[in-house]
Amino acid sequence: MKCIRFPKIFLISLIFACIGISTEVVFTSLSKAVSTFIADDAIDWALGGKTYLWMFLIYASIPLLFKLFEPLVQKFNTFIRALIAVAVIYLVEFTTGFLLEMIIGKCPWKYTEGLHVFGYIRLDYFPFWLIFALIIVSVFQILDKRLT
């Protein structure tokens, strides 16, 4: 019986989609709990978080973008790569939000609070995106070296 082998980039993309979706659900759950605590409201201890199916494809595209930009950023250390990754994240988030709004009539994550740009990206989320970028840059480097 022959085993099906998927290309390495497909497997890494699948892993990144799962990491992204999981991180987003945890982040939205915890941020909702913190904001209700600060507002002195009752916390919903179910800690429900949310994401959008579109995000699976967006997070899965991260390794493809890494492969595209890798020759340009390989000379930089992990922190600088993470800063560049945040810039790319903002670019992708803005572009996909705009395109989704044009195609389906709405941007699923349209921001109305915080320091946002046309509702597509939140600049005040930079520290969270930087932490996420540090993780994904490191994970990508490990997976790219270890998976054959």
Is the residue at 97 inside a domain? Answer: yes
Here the tokens at position 139 are 């994970």
pTM: 0.82
3-class SS of residue 121: strand
DSSP 116: E
Could you say which DSSP state residue 45 is in? T
Asked if the structure places residue 127 within a domain, the reply is yes
Those residues with Cβ within 8 angstroms of residue 117's Cβ, 6 or more apart along the chain or in another chain: 94, 123
Domain-located, residue 1: no
Domain carrying residue 70: 8-146
- 62 is written with which tokens? 């991260």
Domain-located, residue 3: no
Give a yes or no: residue 118 inside a domain.
yes
Q: How many domains does the chain have?
A: 1
pLDDT tens digits for range 77-93: 989 989 998 998 999 99
- Within-domain flag for 70: yes
* Contact predicate 59/16, CB 8 Å: yes
59-73 pLDDT tens trace: 999 888 888 888 888
